[in-house]
Amino acid sequence: MASLTKNERSKFGIVALFLAPSLLLYTTLIIYPIFYSAFLSLTDWPGVGPKDWVGHKNFEFLFQDSDFLTSFGNSLRVTLLSIFFQVPVGLTIAFLLFRTKSAIYKAYRGIYFLPVVITSTAIATMFRLIMNNDIGVFSSILEVIGMGRFIRPWLADTSVVLYTVIFVQIWQFIGTYVIIFLAAFQSIDPEIFESAVIDGTNSLQQFLLIACPLVSDVLKFSVVLCFTGSMKSFDISYVMTAGGPGYASSYLGNYLFNSTFGGTGSRFGRGSAVAMVIIVVSAVFTVIFKKLSREKD
């Protein structure tokens, strides 16, 4: 600061003044809770009273608990399936909308985005009724079209319940990536596609060789967004099945909730340990993915 001129110090002070509220808010709502959760994860605390220091015992318990390992595996499944379905399908639909010259283009865009703006609780409740084996229409439809042999107790059969819940989650949030990629495609200079048409390229070649490479940064961002968002999954599983039967459709978010507030008493230390696992896994994936992407570029 001593080497700065008076005018530069004045500008620096103005910038700091405008940044201070945002920095304070970010520190209070994001940074502090993360560090406080990290501290709580090393304690045994029922929510009131003194915090008993237990070190890494919470983490030892988690990785020896079969229910936690099941929930962790389920979270990885929903995360990987979301990346391999939500992002590519959203990318494809966005390009089709981008190339659509129809007058009802905005209506199509709204239809694809509509499930995103509906609360997950409402979506989960709707599909809980649809997939119900007694009154749900899904099994009735399968029966009508001659596929009754595939009918299962969708929300009770441990072999299919997880994928039933995952399907609902993937379907709901495809619209998020449609809007993200659509905005990316609209930022591309139209002359690029006009030149490609003159050169004789078809729509598939334009999609694979022109559009996708030009939105590669947005694609990488979407993969990270999809991973971190899926690792925090909770509400759809909780409303549809409460994570059951047992922990068959439970995510880390469900296990965190049950560990913190379930059973005979609250265990905020153990719940914080689960939260730290989610944070660390998400952070590690983000760093590795960005490094690999940078090396590929």
Instruction: Write the pLDDT tens digit of every residue in 217-263.
Output: 999 999 999 999 999 999 999 999 998 888 999 999 999 998 888 76
Residue 40 included in any domain: no
Tally of domains within the chain: 1
1 vs 52: which has the higher pLDDT? 52
pLDDT(163) > 90: yes
Angle between helix 66-99 and 105-117 (nearest 10): 170
List CB contacts of 171: < 8 A, sequence separation 6 or more: 115
pLDDT score, position 4? 62
How many of the other CB atoms lie within 10 Å of CB of 224? 16
User: What pLDDT is stored for residue 280 in this prediction?
Assistant: 93
pLDDT at 282: 93
Is the confidence at residue 286, as pLDDT, over 60?
Answer: yes
The percentage of residues in the chain with a pLDDT greater than 70, rounded to a whole number, is 94
Q: What is the mean pLDDT of residues 38-65?
A: 89
* Residue 56 counted as domain residue: no
**What CATH number did the domain enclosing 81 receive?**
1.10.3720.10
| CA 268/CA 262 separation, integer angstroms | 11
Nearest alpha carbon to residue 86 among 207, 209, 222: 222
250 is a domain residue: yes
Each residue's pLDDT tens digit, 199-218: 888 888 888 888 889 999 99
What pLDDT score does 200 carry? 83
Is the residue at 54 inside a domain? Answer: no
Tokens matching residue 112: 């694809």
What integer pLDDT is reported at residue 180 of this predicted model? 93
Mean pLDDT of the chain: 88
Instruction: Give the pLDDT band (50/70/90) at residue 296.
Output: low
Tell which residue, 244, 235, 78, 254, has the closest CA to residue 166.
78
Q: Give the number of other Cβ atoms within 10 Å of residue 156's Cβ.
A: 14
Q: What is the pLDDT of residue 263?
A: 64
Cα distance between residue 23 and residue 80, in whole Å:
33
Task: Give me the pLDDT at residue 55, please.
Answer: 87
User: Which residue range is the domain that position 249 belongs to?
Assistant: 67-296
Residue 45 lies inside a defined structural domain of this protein:
no
Q: Is residue 14 part of a domain?
A: no
- Distance CA(103)–CA(100), nearest Å, equals 9
The model carries a pTM of 0.87
CA atoms within 13 A on the CB side of 189: 4
DSSP single-letter state for residue 64: T
Q: Is the peptide bond before 245 cis (omega within 30 degrees of 0)?
A: yes
Predicted local confidence at residue 1, as pLDDT: 52
Least confident of 148-152, 210-214, 280-284: 148-152
Residue 122: its pLDDT value, please?
93
- 251 belongs to a structural domain: yes
- Look at residue 51 in the predicted model and tell me its pLDDT: 85
Other beta carbons within 10 Å of 54: 18
In a domain, 28, yes or no: no
Residue 2 above 60 pLDDT? no
Rounded to whole angstroms, how far apart are CA atoms 237 and 155?
10
Residue carrying structure tokens 């045994």:
44
Q: What is the pLDDT of residue 10?
A: 73
Give 77-135 pLDDT, tens digit per residue. Answer: 999 999 999 999 999 999 988 888 676 777 888 888 888 889 999 999 999 999 988 88
